[in-house]
Structure 1
Amino acid sequence: MGGEVADVVTASGARPLWHGRALAVLGILLCAFSLRSAVASLSPVVDRIGAEFPLSSAVVGLIGTAPPVCFAVFGLLTPLLERRLGLERLAVIALGAMTVGLVARGLVGESVGLLLTTALIFAGVGMGNILLPPLVKKYFPDRIGAMMTLYTTSMAFSTFVPPLVAVPVADAAGWRFSLAVWGVFAAAGTIPWLVMLLRGDHRRVVPVPPEPEPQAEPETLRPAASEPAAITATGPIVTAPENRSLFRRLAGIPLVWALAVTFGTSSTMAYVAFAWFPSIAADLAGVNSGTAGLLLSLFAFIGLPASLLVPVLVVRFQATRPLFLIGALGGVAGITGMLLAPHPSVLWLWTVLFGLVGLLFPLSLVLISIRSRTAESAVVLSSFVQSAGYVMAAVFPVLVGVLHGATGSWTIPLIVIAAVLVAAIPAGMMAGRRGTVEDEWERRHGTW
């Protein structure tokens, strides 16, 4: 039995989420919170930084482009590092890089230092992005839906909170403190993993719940009965191909590319919105900058209920395809509304509809966990999918700006973004096909 169905039927054998793995819960949630707060805490105070020392447009542009570029590069490096260090040690390194970078960013006195510390932060974030789905796979094979809900909700919460509090904190204590304070959460996130490493908890085998009797489909999430279905500190007990070989195999599996397009579409919509949505709202509807900022927060807020609902709907009700269609077509409807009726009185409605693309992010993350059999393959799948997706996300915000500059209008850029959503629908439908990447390989080539 494949994909989501297997997670449903194993729920009866699941143990309580906190039982014996409270540190893993805390470590995952604090890491998830730090991934987004590290990114979202800078832009609200850029003007204050520029008032203290000059920020050239080139530096600001590089800082804006840095997240997806760093995420793609370190997404590719993470599996190599993980194979040598293990998930938990690499999580400590990633959170440590974020901590140092966040604190140092609050101490810089010139633009180059701001750029370098921001790059260090995003290097840590890039590793953390890849590590979280495999950590969930390793420690919560019986509670993937519940844990994915918690961690994607933590990420959604940390997306819209920093923009809301960054300016008031800067007013009260200065922009340096407003930037550096987020390092507290990253530093706290290292503690559970360090304790687990010192106690040797990461070496304990986490049992996979017993496989239910097969019903409708021949596929299975786990290895054959002759192979031990347990996960250890360095991955599955089952001998797995080297990461390089896994990358080559993944590149030949259509399901993997469908997952990459799904993730890339989600990331593209988010980075386009954060880069251009306030300008689009101001130009098309004539709203002031304050209202445009609130609309952007509304767009980001849609990700919170999405993170609460999507993992449960996918794991328990196999709702991948309906959710993808709601997100993609809702986004197209929002864009169409902005083009045809950009009136301030209804702009909030178009923003909410466009914000439905926020369904795609938690959808993509939970699919990475359930479309792989083991933590080891989840690391490489997460790296492949997210790196490819972030390359796509790095291209389109720049393309939107170029098209706007060339045409002097938002019509063509918005049509292009709507076309991306429509073009991604076949990939979303393929990603909803139950089974794992190992199943896909074995159907085509034999033994994984």
Structure 2
Amino acid sequence: MRARPLWQGRTLALLGIVLVAFSLRSAVASLSPVIDHVAADFPVSPVVVGMIGSAPPVCFAVFGLLTPLLERRFGLERVAVAAIALMSIGLLLRGAAFDSWSLLAATALVFAGVGSANVLLPPLVKKYFPDRLGLMMTLYSTIMAVSTFLPPLVAVPVADSLGWRVSLGMWGAIALLALAPWVTMLVTGKTDAASDGPRAPARPAEAPEGREAFTPAEVATGPITTNPANPRVFGRLWRLPLAWALALVFAASSSMAYSSFAWMPTMLVDIGGVTGSTAGLLLSVFGAVGLPCSLVVPVLVVRFQAARALFFVAVGGGLAGLAGLLLLPAAGLALWVIVFGLTAILFPLSLVLLSIRSRTPESAVALSGFMQSIGYGIAALFPLALGVLHEMTHGWQLPLIVLAGLLVVAAPAGWIAGGSRTIEDEWERRHGRW
């Protein structure tokens, strides 16, 4: 396919995708740095904070299943507008919370929208930019990485000067901006991407080696589809150790990320004796480690088959960072946060493995659904469990040990997932023809 200028006939779609991508992660990373400011106005127990931290993976799991059904009934852009509106309203209401339960309810609304938008972004990219998939996937994944470390950087200074309500609510105002391009396209009827340029070529139905079925952009970010999984294929995955290994790698990735977003600032204030502003800065540093990882990991896996090595770098970094925070927090708090941030390798690694451990798009969709349902289900337990453990022990030693234990338990899964077989290969070796 011959590429055309990025802006030609699709400026609104480009703006809409960029603004939505920015809002997805800023919604996750903007609350925990100012939770102490919120607690100065009304009590926020560790259990509630843990429930807030568990909201993203729960909503991602639930709305990851519901969104494709809604999209088929109402259309891609209409569901995207509804998702962005939910996210925007929830972010604004979070700034108006009057007790811990209204804060939790607003957060649930936020992540209902985020969970849906997270599913819709890749097919929107494919619809409007079939000739620029690699560039657009890189652009929106980079924007998401930037919006992971930017909110913690500015949240506390804004809360100090203007109050925590402004600090939380301003992300809702930014999310509202993302509505404008999509609403304009719906009102003006400019949602037929085919009229603006060439369609994407059909992908081959099967790739014997498990890689040719996907574009380079899809290898980097996961298969671009909202079709529901084939029940027959999905059912077979429950019997495959490789599928379970991939799900556990994804679970470890999500658990580390969402536990950190929920608890890292509070933990660093407690064990490191730093200010809330410094703790927010360190959370920003933790998020920034993920940016180079998202760019480098797909290349290293696809070109150099480095999946196992990368997995153990991530696990080793995570264990070293946790050990430093547990035993020597005052010796180098920033260093331990950066080293622990190497667990960010696990997220792009999971997505690359999802693409190259299946031969066909149909298998990849089933594997994606299996990985996300298991992975997010496990990840939803950890922020809440860490909050309960912290409240029971009045310290962070046991929560840090639990996180380290998860990385250790995931090590055999990483070895299995890093092999060269596809899920079809494993089924045929164990049960005969796929």
TM-score, normalised to structure 1's length? 0.76
Structure 2 match to 1:43? 32
Contact 2:87 2:175 in 1 (8 A): yes
Gaps of at least 5 residues in structure 2 are: 215-223
Please state if 1:153 is matched with 2:142: yes
- 1-side partners of 2:364 and 2:180: how far apart? 24
* Alignment equivalent of 1:179, drawn from 162, 168, 188: 168
Who is 1:424 aligned against?
410
1:131 and 2:120 correspond:
yes
The 8 Å contact of residues 134 and 369 in structure 1, kept in 2 or not, is answered as no
Structure-2 separation of matches of 1:252 and 1:437: 10
Cα 1:409–1:195 change in 2 (3 A) is closer
Matched, 1:115 2:104: yes
Q: In structure 2, which of residues 147, 153, 158 is the aligned counterpart of residue 169 of structure 1? A: 158
Distance 2:113 2:228 in 1: 26
DSSP 3-state at the match of 1:207: coil
Aligned pairs (5 A) from 1:42-81? 42-52=31-41, 55=44, 59-81=48-70
- Are the structure 2 counterparts of residues 325 and 61 from structure 1 closer, same or farther at C-alpha, using a change threshold of 3 Å? closer
Which residue is equivalent to 2:255? 268
Cross-structure match for 1:104: 93
What amino acid maps onto 2:213 in structure 1?
Answer: R
Q: Give CA deviations for 1:387-417 in whole Å, capped at 9, x if unaligned.
A: 3222211222333345556666644443332
How far apart are the structure 2 equivalents of 1:374 and 1:14? 25
CA distance 1:151–1:113, shift in 2 (3 Å): same
Distance 1:371 1:16 in 2: 32
Which range moves more in the overlay, 201-210 or 159-168?
201-210
Q: Distance in 2 between matches of 1:409 and 1:50?
A: 18
Q: Is the 8 A contact 2:213 2:361 kept in 1?
A: no
In structure 1, the gaps of 5 or more residues are 1-12, 224-233
Are 1:322 and 2:315 matched, yes or no? no
Match in the other structure for 2:178: 189
- Amino acid across the alignment from 1:43: S
Amino acid at match of 2:6: W
For the residues of structure 1 that align with 2:177 and 2:358, how far apart are their CA atoms?
30
CA offsets, 1:143-200, max 9 Å, x none?
Answer: 6654443323222211221122223334554443332322244333344555666334
Residues 49 and 387, structure 2, Cα contact 8 Å, conserved in 1: no
Distance 2:35 2:401 in 1: 30
1:98 shift after superposition: 0.7
Q: Distance in 1 between matches of 2:47 and 2:203?
A: 56
Q: Which amino acid aligns with 1:206?
A: R
Give percent identity, aligned residues only.
58
Aligned counterparts of 2:412 and 2:267: Cα–Cα separation in 1: 28
- Name the residue aligned to 1:7: none
Paired residue for 2:345, among 337, 359, 363?
359
1:356 deviation in Å?
0.5
Residue 9 of structure 2 corresponds to residue 18 of structure 1: no
Q: Tell me the equivalent position of 1:390.
A: 376
Partners of 1:15 and 1:275 in 2: CA distance: 42
> What are the Cα deviations for residues 416-447 of structure 1, in whole angstroms up to 9, with x where unaligned?
32232233233334444457656766775646
Distance 2:4 2:248 in 1: 34
In structure 2, the residue matched to 1:8 is none
1:207 aligns with 200
The size of the alignment, in residue pairs, is 417
Question: Aligned equivalents of 2:417 and 2:2: distance in 1?
Answer: 26
Q: Quote the Cα distance in structure 2 between the aligned partners of 1:336 and 1:416.
A: 12
Distance, in Å, in 1 between the alignment partners of 2:356 and 2:375 is 18
CA–CA distance in structure 1, aligned partners of residues 244 and 134 of structure 2: 23
Q: Is the 8 A contact 1:71 1:127 kept in 2?
A: yes
Partners of 2:244 and 2:131 in 1: how far apart?
Answer: 27
Instruction: Measure, in 1, the Cα distance between the counterparts of 2:161 and 2:369.
Output: 40
Distance 1:419-1:278 versus aligned 2 partners, 3 A rule: same
In the alignment, the residues of structure 1 paired with residue 373 and residue 203 of structure 2 have an alpha-carbon distance, to the nearest angstrom, of 33
Report what 1:415 is aligned to.
401
For 2:294, which of 307, 313, 322 is the aligned residue? 307
Contact 1:136 1:369 in 2 (8 A): no
CA contact (8 A) 2:126 2:133 kept: yes
Distance of 1:276 and 1:428 partners within structure 2: 25
- For 2:43 and 2:404, locate their aligned partners in 1 and report how far apart those are by CA, in whole Å: 37
Read off the aligned partner of 1:189 and give its amino acid letter: A
RMSD of aligned C-alpha atoms?
Answer: 4.0
**Could you tell me which amino acid in structure 1 is paired with residue 287 of structure 2?**
A
1:178–1:438 Cα change, 3 Å: farther
